[in-house]
Amino acid sequence: LGRQRINWGQTMVWNPNDIFNNYSFFDFDYVERPGSDAVRLQYYPSSSSTIELVAKVNSSEKLTTAALFRFNKWNYDIQFIGGLLNEQDYIAGAGWSGAIKSVSFRGEASCFQPKENFADTNGLVMVSISFDYSFKNSSMILVEGLYGNFTKNTGLGFMDVYSAPSTVKNLSFTKYNVLAQYSYPVSPLLNISVSGMYMPEIIGYYAGPTISYSLKDNLDLSLIAQVFSGEFPNAFTGKKQRINFYLGFVRLKGNF
């Protein structure tokens, strides 16, 4: 009972299963954000299985309640979820995390069906699949893809998704998304990473290099750049035009 981080995600970037505390990949301050005010019951049938029941009410007094069953089979952590999201959508999903030889293999899938039109076939389906590999020099490469039959909205752009409150139903605004990320610890004090995302429907891309340096114990300095580009319809002519956004940040983070 109380504020807590309820993490049901398995993949690294997009989490269709994480209905309580989803976040945006672009939000580099995510680690500092609070969790959810929720009631959570956990039961462990065995050392490798978990049953959870969670309920929370949002700021609009809408109830979200869901259950999770997670277990280990074939050296994979496998989970199934089901519930009701904001009193509007029934949700059913599954996720897994394991490895193919030395490559981590993770995935999530969720289906959201409107409560009021349950017999309708226009439910939202999202699937994310992720691979990551760690090298001997401690560098890591990650490749992840997301599919979602999101409703098309010609007025929606990068900034709408970037600045909107993150929910499990607005993980993206394009049907297909692919991301690759590489991180490398140059030294115990210096870490660099670069991310790239491609969105074929809008011939769009995202690039995000980051440099982090440890100034002293519990104090880090980061330089972060974010570049977005894509083709969107002009609000007046309807013709597609390329729109670019360039963002830069300096972050000083201390831990106490």
Span 210-226, pLDDT tens digits: 999 999 988 999 999 99
* Residue 172 or 49, more confident: 49
The arithmetic mean of pLDDT across residues 111-128, rounded, is: 86
Cβ neighbours of residue 2 closer than 8 Å, sequence gap 6 or more:
37, 38
By C-alpha distance, which of 64, 61, 215, 62 is closest to 53? 64
Cα 103 from Cα 42, distance rounded (Å): 30
- Specify the DSSP class assigned to residue 158: H
**Contact indicator for 125, 113 with CB cutoff of 8 Å:** no
**Residues, the chain:** 256
Provide mean pLDDT across the span 224-235: 89
Domain count, the chain: 1
Mean pLDDT of 125-144: 97
Q: What was the pLDDT predicted at 24?
A: 81
Q: What is the DSSP letter of 55?
A: E
Q: Is pTM, for the whole model, over 0.75?
A: yes
Say which CATH number the domain at 94 has: 2.40.160.10
Range of the domain at 149: 2-254
Bigger pLDDT: 233 vs 57: 57
Average pLDDT rounded to a whole number, residues 40-57 = 95
- By CB atoms closer than 10 A (0-12, 13-18, 19+), residue 228 is buried
